Amino acid sequence: MKLWMLLAAGLTTLALGACANMSTEGRTVAGAAGGAAAGLIAAEVLDADDDWRVISALGGAAAGTVVAQNTQNGNCAYARGDGTYYTAPCR
């Protein structure tokens, strides 16, 4: 089962590379779906209960949405190490 989940995570990562020519809405939806899938896969690999699976899927969807939107405008968030962050062009 864990091998299947790791394979699914790898295929999801490859599929997200196809988002280069997508519209803003399409990229956001793909980011949310990919993030939710990654969160759910991580919860499954860690043998989390159902509540944590839902929470990890929602957290993954939120993170995927932010990454997709930041990818579109070319800005990324970087941590300063003191609990704050700044935005700058992605490296």
DSSP 85: E
Q: Is the pLDDT of residue 5 over 70?
A: no
Is 0.85 topped by the overall pTM? no
Split at pLDDT 50, 70, 90, the class of 79 is confident
In contact, 41 and 8? CB cutoff 8 Å: yes
Rounded CA gap, 8 and 14, in Å? 10
Q: Is the pLDDT of residue 33 over 70?
A: yes
Write down the pLDDT at residue 12.
Answer: 62
Residue extents of the structural domains in the chain: 2-89
